[in-house]
Amino acid sequence: MRVSTALPWLALAGVVGYISWNDSWPGRHVVGQPALPHEYAMPAGNAAVSGPISYAPAVARAAPAVVNIYTTQTVREQSSPLLEHPWFRFHGEQLPRERTASSLGSGVIVSADGYILTNDHVVASADSIVVALNDGREVPAKVIGTDPDTDLAVLRIALDKLPVLPFKTSPSAVGDVVLAIGNPFGVGQTVTQGIISAIGRSGLGINTYEDFVQTDAAINPGNSGGALIDVSGNLIGINSAIYSRSGGSMGIGFAIPAPSARQVMQEIIANGRVVRGWLGVEISSRAESDSVPSRGTSSDVLIAGVLPGGPGAKSGLHAGDQLLSVDGQSVTSPDQVIRQIGGLKPGDDAEVIILRAGKAQTLKVTMGERPKPRSKAE
């Protein structure tokens, strides 16, 4: 849910929101290199577990590739209806209808020739973007492409031989130590430390496609688009959102995992956008469709609506069908189905097994291309 172009929010028990800072709403918060210590095995018996004395080598490796991003945009003011009266227009003082608002966030250099990953909400609707490097240089940036469905954007600056933050290739696990690097509140580059609290977080309603890494490393306004790294200085994720009742960090932050960010980045660089599969159906859980009786199956994922003339309608899908599997993968949740469909390409054929009137049926569907505007339909 978005309430502004620069800083969307979502209310849960408190607030889940993006973590950029915008001065139009003061005080609001949203969500060769040296050899380094890499993994720590649990010792046998009752021996104490030891970790690195300092994370300084990891920070020294990663910090030069984390940048500050400053944007400006023109905001149109809402005028009072009273001031639209002809007397005020001809005799009264004309009030300005537009003003310039500025906001800030962070970004990660992912290629030596100037490509930068950040959040879409950091640069959305920006009229100008300036990137401040760790070495003090400031340069304008160009938007190569954005993907609002994952809240990612790719920028490029006209510099080369830049420091790069490498993507982590090995799996991460709950309990791994992580460091968050960004520019909270505009005070300058800041590092905080915590652990991975959970992986695969979804169903938060922040983005269309969710598969977050959750961390308790402190992240605050201005950290949006910054780096979540491991103790070897590799990129684990792009910090994107926080959960908070107070508006500040409460130890629940969310980062877009590095594999997802890299895939989106590669597609944007290659095509200027991300092309995803689309069925033209609305997916819901049984809890959201109380009128549909339980049929005693393990899947609680239903088709709540079908777009007339869409790929799903052409394949014979109906509202009320219960999804059992898509393209050979068992259905577990609406979010999993949405991600799976989005991972297919337009023109791909897939088998969809449904339960209708108590009987399982297998349908062949041909994926369409997901429309550019965001919607609940998949």
pLDDT at position 240 over 80: yes
Ordered by start, the domain boundaries in the chain are: 1-31+54-274, 277-369
**132 phi/psi in degrees, rounded to 5:** -105, 120
The active-site residue out of 147, 149, 151, 230 is 151
The model's pLDDT over 211-226, given as tens digits with 9 standing for 90+, comes to 999 999 999 888 999 9
Q: Whole-number mean pLDDT of the chain?
A: 81
Structure confidence at residue 153 as a pLDDT band (50, 70, 90):
very high
Q: Can you give the pLDDT at residue 1?
A: 28
Please state, as a whole number, how many other Cβ atoms lie within 10 Å of the Cβ of residue 335: 20
Q: Cα–Cα distance between 280 and 71 in angstroms, integer?
A: 35
Strand, helix or coil at 364?
A: strand
**238 phi/psi in degrees, rounded to 5:** -105, 115
The whole model's pTM is what? 0.76
The active-site residue out of 106, 197, 224, 315 is 224
Please state, as a whole number, how many other Cβ atoms lie within 10 Å of the Cβ of residue 185: 13
The rounded percent of the chain whose pLDDT value lies above 70 is 73
pLDDT at position 171 over 80: yes
Residue, of 27 and 195, whose pLDDT is higher: 195
Structure confidence at residue 93 as a pLDDT band (50, 70, 90):
low
Residue, of 8 and 197, whose pLDDT is higher: 197
Fold of 1-31+54-274: Thrombin, subunit H (2.40.10)
Choose among 178, 216, 231, 189: nearest CA to 53: 231
Q: What mean pLDDT comes out for the span 348-357?
A: 92
Structure confidence at residue 375 as a pLDDT band (50, 70, 90):
very low
Q: What mean pLDDT comes out for the span 298-309?
A: 84
Residue, of 37 and 104, whose pLDDT is higher: 104
CA distances from 336 to 19, 276, 325 (A): 25, 15, 11
CA distances from 79 to 24, 26, 125, 177, 222 (A): 16, 21, 21, 50, 30
Lowest mean pLDDT among 29-43, 180-194, 332-346: 29-43
Task: Say which residues have a Cβ less than 8 Å from residue 44's Cβ, sequence separation at least 6.
Answer: none
Question: Does 224 participate in catalysis according to the annotation?
Answer: yes
Cα 123–63–175 angle (5° rounding)?
A: 95
The model's pLDDT over 128-137, given as tens digits with 9 standing for 90+, comes to 999 999 999 9
Strand, helix or coil at 238?
A: strand
Q: Cα–Cα distance between 133 and 369 in angstroms, integer?
A: 38
Question: Does 121 participate in catalysis according to the annotation?
Answer: yes
Strand, helix or coil at 71?
A: strand
Structure confidence at residue 95 as a pLDDT band (50, 70, 90):
low
Strand, helix or coil at 63?
A: helix
**225 phi/psi in degrees, rounded to 5:** 85, -5
Lowest mean pLDDT among 106-120, 222-236, 285-299: 285-299
The active-site residue out of 4, 103, 120, 121 is 121
Cα 124–129–132 angle (5° rounding)?
A: 125
Task: Say which residues have a Cβ less than 8 Å from residue 2's Cβ, sequence separation at least 6.
Answer: 8, 121
Q: Which amino acid is at 183?
A: N
Q: Can you give the pLDDT at residue 335?
A: 87
Question: Does 348 participate in catalysis according to the annotation?
Answer: no
Residue written as token pair 């505009």: 186
Alpha helices in the chain (DSSP H): 56-62, 86-91, 120-123, 258-271, 311-315, 334-343
The model's pLDDT over 63-78, given as tens digits with 9 standing for 90+, comes to 999 999 999 877 666 5
Q: What mean pLDDT comes out for the span 357-374?
A: 86
Strand, helix or coil at 368?
A: strand
Q: What mean pLDDT comes out for the span 103-125?
A: 94
Cα 18–23–28 angle (5° rounding)?
A: 45
Structure confidence at residue 300 as a pLDDT band (50, 70, 90):
confident
User: What architecture is domain 277-369?
Assistant: Roll (2.30)
